[in-house]
Amino acid sequence: MGLGLAGFLLDIGSCGADTLQDALRAASMPTQSFPAAELAGKITSYAVSNGDPFLLAYYDDDGSVRIQPPLHVVRYDRAAGEVRRADFRNVLALFQGETPMDCLGSALTISQYRGFLYIDTHGGPSAGCVLIFSTGLELKASLSGWLLGRLGADYAIVRGSEVHFMSVHPTHIVVFDLKQNRSVTVYPYANDPERQRFSRLIEPWISESWCRENNAACDPENFDADLTGSVAVNESARVFGFEARFDAGGFGEAAEKTVAPRTVTYFYRERGGAWEHREYQGPALLRLLGGMTLDEFIRQKPDLAFR
């Protein structure tokens, strides 16, 4: 069964009550190619980028409190004076690689980068979609998750959607190859020594009674791992990195009180279509960074972590 999101209730913070004409005129975009009735119609749950090109993703507000397809996308090339429009229905992505989910939730952000358009849509507290289009508004890919970063015109870095009502929320990160049109899971990876160490710390403190009462899987290899900040990217070096915070919540009070959270910094580098990885924690990380922030380090010394 697919995860049905189209037609769900509007998000509390979603944009609404503006007309299409309001949105276009605010961006100084010509409106003569739009029918008068359409311009006068209210729009909702929309995202705007006011640069060049001007970009808009929106839904028609039908007076109900539900989002209704289609998702309308408008692209206006200011320099060329060219307007492109497209409507999208039944856009699906595979939730955790298995279950089809509907991607037509509120438009959160819209942007263009290196020849591709990106729209983030909201699907719930722990789920969403990244929609990727050509500049001609042809849908190239729909991915379950949120956009974390981009490596030029070659790769999009995406955090995967999670099951919200679970005792733990481990982070999953994939890299989508825009040329090959395929995703590769880069985090977590097998036999990560830092994750294995944290699992060994959790295991002795797992409360089986707590796990039964809370219907929790309590798998010590599957724990909370959240990002502490944004992903740092060096496009020319094809390197990115992030800091993950491990937490023992979701295994019972004893584990949560006894096992202190731990942060680990990960580095990834693309070579010949494959992704190398390194991880650093504690004093080793401080020596590596040499007083720089992660963003400064990846911008200035992107390959040092791999030596």
Give tens-digit pLDDT for 63-101. Answer: 888 899 999 999 999 999 999 999 999 999 998 777 899
Structural domain span for residue 85 = 1-187
Q: How confident is the model at residue 6 (pLDDT cuts 50, 70, 90)?
A: very low
SS (H, E, C) the chain: CCECCCCCECCCCCCCCEEHHHHHHHCCCCCCCCCHHHHHCEEEEEEEECCCCEEEEEEECCCCCECCCCEEEEEEECCCCEEEEEEECCCEEEECCCEEEECCCCEEEEEEECCEEEEEEEEECCEEEEEEEECCCCEEEEEEEEEEEEECCCEEEEEECCCCCCCCCECCEEEEECCCCEEEEEECCCCCHHHHHHHHHHHHHCCHHHHHHCCCCCCCCCCEEEECCCCEEECCCCEEEEEEEEECCCCCHHHHHHCCCEEEEEEEEEECCEEEEEEECCHHHHHHHCCCCHHHHHHHCCCHHHC
Residue 165: what pLDDT?
Answer: 63
Same domain, residue pair 10 and 125: yes
Query: Residues 105-112: what's their mean pLDDT?
Result: 97
Flag whether pLDDT at 126 surpasses 90: no
Same domain, residue pair 35 and 136: yes
Same domain, residue pair 198 and 178: no
Same domain, residue pair 6 and 153: yes
Q: Which of 187, 210, 226 is the last residue of a domain?
A: 187
Residue 11: what pLDDT?
Answer: 47
Residue 163: what pLDDT?
Answer: 75
Q: How confident is the model at residue 162 (pLDDT cuts 50, 70, 90)?
A: confident
Residue 168: what pLDDT?
Answer: 79
Same domain, residue pair 274 and 285: yes
Q: Which of 141, 170, 187 is the last residue of a domain?
A: 187
Show Cβ contacts of residue 260 under 8 Å, excluding neighbours closer than 6 positions.
Answer: none
Distance (Å) of CA 139 to CA 86, 123, 134: 10, 19, 7
pLDDT in tens, 7-53: 444 543 344 448 999 999 999 999 998 999 999 999 999 999 999 99
Same domain, residue pair 144 and 22: yes
Q: What is the largest CA-CA distance in the chain?
A: 69
Same domain, residue pair 46 and 67: yes
Number of domains in the chain: 2
Same domain, residue pair 18 and 166: yes
- Angle at alpha carbon of residue 261, lines to 256 and 262, rounded to 5°: 150
Same domain, residue pair 37 and 70: yes
Residue 14: what pLDDT?
Answer: 45
Same domain, residue pair 196 and 277: yes
Of the listed ranges 91-95, 107-111, 234-238, the one predicted with least confidence? 91-95
**What is the token pair recorded at 304?**
């040092």
Same domain, residue pair 180 and 235: no
CA distance between the termini of the chain = 47
Whole-angstrom Cα distance, residue 285 to residue 295?
14
Residue 164: what pLDDT?
Answer: 61
Q: How confident is the model at residue 256 (pLDDT cuts 50, 70, 90)?
A: very high
pLDDT in tens, 135-160: 999 999 999 999 999 999 999 999 99
Residue 303: what pLDDT?
Answer: 97
Residue 64: what pLDDT?
Answer: 87
Q: Which of 134, 167, 187 is the last residue of a domain?
A: 187
Q: What percent of the chain shows pLDDT beyond 70?
A: 93
As a whole number, the mean pLDDT across the chain is 92
pTM: 0.91
Query: Residues 277-303: what's their mean pLDDT?
Result: 98
pLDDT in tens, 165-215: 677 778 999 999 999 999 999 999 999 999 999 999 999 999 889 999 998
Same domain, residue pair 163 and 210: no
